[in-house]
Amino acid sequence: MADAPQEFDVIVIGAGISGLYQLYRLRELGLTVRVLEAGTGVGGTWYWNRYPGARFDSESYSYGYSFSKELLEEWDWTEHFSPQPETLRYLNFVADKFDLRRDIQFRSRVAAAHYSDDRRGWDITLEDGSRFRSRFLITAIGPLSAPTMPRIPGIDSFKGRSFHTGKWPHEAVTFEGKRVAVIGTGATGVQTIQEVAKTVGHLTIFQRTPNWCAPLHNGKISKEEMAGIRAEYPAIFKRCQETFSCFLHTPDPRSALEVSDEEREAFFEKLYAEKGFGIWQGNFKDILTDRKANALISDFVARKIRQRVKDQAVAEKLIPKNHGFGTRRVPLETRYYEVYNQPNVKLVDINETPIERVTENGIKTSDREYEFDIIIYATGFDAITGSFDRIDIEGEGGLKLKQHWKGGPQTYLGVMVEGFPNMMMLMGPHTALGNIPRSIEYNVEWVTDLIRYARDHQISRIAATPAGVKSWTDHVKSLGVGLLSNEIDSWMTGINRNVEGKDTRIIARYSGSAPAYRERCDAVAANDYRELALA
Ligand code: NA7
């Protein structure tokens, strides 16, 4: 006979940034919690994405947790944009400091979660068959955590080594003297390419769509600088609270069209020379909504690419033609464009010569076969809803979440779903993503307050109402109107042609301001959660 299920007040799926913090907060309520984590360690995104060059594009000191003064005192960032190994060390440090591991079960991939209205709780089953029961289910499974391979024939026939960037091995991979292929030129591909290019024998990049990249301007943080940053933490986090997407950068109130050509050019130059996302998130207010304004910044960055890449035929291939600057996620780079000036680097535009198949020895395009020792798939994720789709999540009356969301997600505040009582999502669809840890902290605290309220008022069933879901989903859709990014295929609009059924654009992200999101959620809490059905 199968073992009886283990019972907890709350099951959290995932021990990444959100799962760790959620555990910390729920413990404060005195609840029994078990975090189920597929990996062998904590860290989520920063556990899985060990590919060469992986790092933050948000300033390290704006990205770390802000909730613990002690933690802020004890942790030193060593680079303005922390590399993945340091971030993983940080998250392990957090887990140790708050003694979180004793409630985390590793090597535990959740296969199914079914709601039972009789018990007002969830039945959770792992891939190995072990079972859990809980009153509440909290998904902390990440918006970019279901890696997807391209649908190219012959992938399994390759005799060399191959990796998806999101499932990178724990041991070091070296590239000296190797013939390496990278497929994909999104934020991940760009980071990978510029790092691999430093040591590789020969590198071939297979590009389908170029992206508009901008300089990261990373640098080391000295001990003295770190002391200065530490003193600034209250101001840093206050600023993140106030900006549109919780970054240190926020749009300039001017229109790109209202200033003189000289003033505009000088401002673009300034942004191009500054650290981080300023050129995307801190640019003129209309570059992401007004085609003319967008064309001005696109033209500016195109000129930079032409200046930086010596072979103008290659430069043209690297300049996006089907979308404007910032309408897809802007990869931040360090000497990315200069990589294409190396004699041992080749760019293959697969629109001109499509990949036909992966062979035993490499990759065959329409015009020739390339031989490789290593193929790197930087082909991205089944974003936002993909991590939900991988789990058999069943709500009331056998309703499957995957089916329910077929035409796009419908949520209440991005946290709850109608028909799935007692399930709360952290960084689910329709929440403010932006500088993710800032959004996570708010999301976790809101969910914790809701569960505290339920505990204090003997409530055992929390459900989103049809009216609440309709109103939030309509609101999220209305916010997306007029955004140039919603007219473009990307993971941000739910497109991933490597996944069945993900070929129609959807509104999966909340694109209003983070302060407005918090204001709305705060009002719901202040009003005793009357918009939810509590019983
Ligand atoms: P992205 O941004 O989705 O990029 C994936 C890349 O892989 C992109 O260049 C794709 O080209 C390319 N791709 C995907 N499938 C194929 C096939 N079948 N053939 C050729 N090329 C393909 O994922 P990332 O991992 O870079 O970044 C995701 C987010 O994670 C990032 O924004 C950060 O916020 C963290 P396409 O553009 O579809 O033509």
Give the ligand 1 atom nearest the CA of 208. 39
Q: How far apart are CA 212 and CA 192, in angstroms?
A: 16
pLDDT at 3: 82
Helix (H, G, I), strand (E, B) or coil at 200: strand
* Contact predicate 116/399, CB 8 Å: no
Q: Which atom from ligand 1 is nearest to the alpha carbon of 378?
A: 7
Res. 2 pLDDT band, cuts 50 70 90: low
Q: Which two tokens stand for residue 331?
A: 């990869």
| Ligand 1 contact, 155 CB (< 6 A) | no
| Minimum-distance ligand 1 atom for the alpha carbon of 166 | 25
| Ligand 1 pocket member 434 (CB < 6 A) | no
| Three state DSSP letters for 431-486 | CCCCCHHHHHHHHHHHHHHHHHHHHHCCCCCEEECHHHHHHHHHHHHHHHCCCHHH
Burial label for 239, CB within 10 Å (0-12, 13-18, 19+), is: middle
- Closest to 159 measured CA to CA, from 360, 416, 308: 360
* Neighbouring C-beta atoms of residue 109, cutoff 10 Å: 14
Residue 77, pLDDT score: 98
Q: How far apart are CA 388 and CA 350, in angstroms?
A: 31
Residues sharing a CB contact under 8 Å with residue 371, sequence separation 6 or more, in sequence order: 179, 361, 362
Residue 185 CA to ligand 1 center (angstroms) comes to 6
**Model's pTM, two decimal places?**
0.97
Written as one string, the DSSP assignment of 23-59 is HHHHHHTT--EEEE-SSSSS-THHHH---TT-B-SS-
Pocket test of ligand 1: the residue of 164, 195, 208 to mutate, having most ligand atoms within 8 Å of its CB, is 208
CA atoms within 13 A on the CB side of 231: 5
Q: Which backbone phi and psi does 505 adopt, to 5 degrees?
A: -65, 140
- Residue 390 per-residue DSSP state: T
Amino acid letter, 257: L
143 lines ligand 1 (CB under 6 A): no
Q: What are phi and psi of 295, to 5 degrees?
A: -65, -30
Q: Which atom of ligand 1 is nearest to the CA of 491?
A: 3
Instruction: Confirm or reject: Cβ of 187 under 6 Å from ligand 1.
Output: yes
Q: Please, what sign has the CA dihedral across residues 318, 326, 214, 267?
A: positive
Q: Rounded mean pLDDT of 6-27? A: 98
Is the beta carbon of 186 within 6 A of some atom in ligand 1?
A: yes
Per DSSP, the chain holds a count of helices (H) and strands (E) of: 17, 20
Q: Phi, psi (5° rounding) for residue 261?
A: -55, -40
Ligand 1 neighbourhood includes 379 CB (under 6 angstroms):
yes
**Nearest protein CA to atom 18 of ligand 1, as residue:** 150
Residue tagged 């990796």 (tokens):
163
> Residue 127's pLDDT is what?
98
Q: What angle do CA 388, 392, 398 make, to 5 degrees?
A: 115
> What digits encode the pLDDT tens for the residues 297-334?
999 999 999 999 999 999 999 999 999 999 999 999 99
Query: Is residue 490 left, alpha or beta, with left meaning phi > 0 and alpha meaning psi from -120 to 50?
Result: beta
Residue 132: what residue type?
A: F
Dist. CA 492–CA 216, nearest whole Å: 21
pLDDT tens sequence across 356-397: 999 999 999 999 999 999 999 999 999 999 999 999 999 999
Which residue out of 58, 144, 188 has the highest number of ligand 1 atoms within 8 Å of its CB and is therefore the one to mutate? 188
Res 395: pLDDT: 98
Q: Quote the ligand 1 centre to 327 CA distance (angstroms).
A: 14
240 three-state secondary structure: helix
- pLDDT tens, position by position, 493-520: 999 999 999 999 999 999 999 999 999 9
Per-residue model confidence (pLDDT) at position 92: 98
**For ligand 1, what atom is nearest to the CA of residue 185?**
9
Q: What is the mean pLDDT of residues 428-433?
A: 93
pLDDT in tens, 133-149: 999 999 999 999 999 99
Ligand 1 pocket member 189 (CB < 6 A): yes
Q: What is the pLDDT of residues 70-111, one digit of tens each?
A: 999 999 999 999 999 999 999 999 999 999 999 999 999 999
pLDDT digits (tens, 9 = 90+) for 150-175: 999 999 999 999 999 999 999 999 99
Cα 378 to ligand 1 centre (Å): 6
pLDDT at 1 over 60: no
